[in-house]
Amino acid sequence: MAASADETALKMSELERLSGVNRSTIHFYISEGILPEPDKTGITSAYYGQKHLKRLQAIQRFKGEYSRLTGKSRMPIEMLRALIEREDPLKRSIISKALKVDLSGLDADGRRRKEIIVSALMLYAERGYYRTSVRDIAREAGISAPTFYKYFPNKRELFVEVIEYVIKKFRNEYRGALEEADDWFMVANILIESFHDNYPLIGEIMNQLRAGVAINDPWAKDRLKKIYADLTEDFAIYIAKAIDGGFIREFDEELLAYIIINLAEATYQRVSFDDKYDFVDTAEAILGLVYYGLGPG
């Protein structure tokens, strides 16, 4: 990937010196897709740009904060990847679009409370829950820290409400659509479609909690478990009805709901890469896989 004309071309030795990262680690980050490919001008010649230096500086900052927080020197690669992805300036606009915040019908306190929740979620998308302070959230919401504490006793209680806000939004959307469903496949399609539409929010919350699990925060593990329970609860009920009606064979409905939600999450990631697949393709693939399996047709 060539450096743009306004970037300063750097050789590997210069990139090592300026970033404080050795070349073997830089090559590892490139192989993992955490750093973009350099501009190769020959078999052994490659040049790097400011985007490489800034990304390495961000990585060093993340690793330093992780070490101070956990006392561990080695940061899990998947956590690092998630943090880097949240640095993407497009992520904020995706989250903002997905929120579709409706402040109508709320009194002044209700509006302010929801504005704080939205501001927190926007910041979590950029820097993560563990790296976002109350002062950061207050600044984003346009209030003072003392005003923040009038609405939430601490950052963790706010995060609980952020989670409940996101899950409630998801459930309200699909429960309304389910009123028109008349068979199991329609129900499954509605649930998967709603999960797909809300995944920018749901996925962001789950990523924050997974980061907490990675640093052995038991609270994060419990909240992640509860989110999966909330996501699968209604789906499991409809699966049980489908089993009773003879539409699908006997199966643990809770486990099957969990499997389908995780398939939906994985295929959402694939759809986001390019235009090869769309939602209809992935929903049909998920349901076809669950209903028919992988045996010969």
**Same-domain status, 70 and 107:** no
**Same-domain status, 186 and 102:** yes
What is the predicted pLDDT for the residue at 114?
86
Does any domain span residue 83? no
Q: Which of the residue ranges 104-108, 116-120, 219-223, 291-295 has the most confident prediction, judged by mean pLDDT?
A: 219-223
**Same-domain status, 71 and 174:** no
Does any domain span residue 142? yes
Residues 6 or more apart from 3 whose CB is under 8 A from it?
9, 38, 39, 47, 48, 49, 50, 51
Mean pLDDT of 241-256: 90
Q: How confident is the model at residue 6 (pLDDT cuts 50, 70, 90)?
A: very low
**Same-domain status, 203 and 58:** no
pTM above 0.75, yes or no: no
Does any domain span residue 86? no
**Same-domain status, 126 and 177:** yes
User: CATH number, domain at 17?
Assistant: 1.10.1660
**Same-domain status, 65 and 134:** no
Does any domain span residue 45? yes
Condensed to tens digits (0 to 9), the pLDDT of residues 42-68 reads 666 788 888 898 889 888 887 887 777
**Same-domain status, 143 and 257:** yes
Which amino acid belongs to residue 106? Answer: L
What is the predicted pLDDT for the residue at 255?
94
Condensed to tens digits (0 to 9), the pLDDT of residues 227-237 reads 999 989 988 98
Does any domain span residue 61? yes
What is the predicted pLDDT for the residue at 145?
92
88 Rama sector, left if φ>0, alpha if ψ -120 to 50, beta otherwise: beta
Total structural domains in the chain?
Answer: 2
**Same-domain status, 258 and 133:** yes
**Same-domain status, 211 and 64:** no
**Same-domain status, 101 and 232:** yes
Does any domain span residue 4? no
Does any domain span residue 87? no
Structural domain including 51 reads 12-75
Lowest mean pLDDT of 22-26, 70-74, 191-195, name the range: 70-74
Run of H or E including 35:
none
**Same-domain status, 39 and 112:** no
What is the predicted pLDDT for the residue at 5?
40
Work out the burial of residue 42: count CB atoms within 10 Å of its CB; fewer than 13 is exposed, 13-18 middle, 19 or more buried.
Answer: exposed
**Same-domain status, 68 and 109:** no
Does any domain span residue 5? no
Condensed to tens digits (0 to 9), the pLDDT of residues 87-132 reads 554 455 545 555 566 667 778 888 888 889 888 888 887 777 888 8
Higher pLDDT, residue 98 or 255:
255
Q: How confident is the model at residue 3 (pLDDT cuts 50, 70, 90)?
A: very low
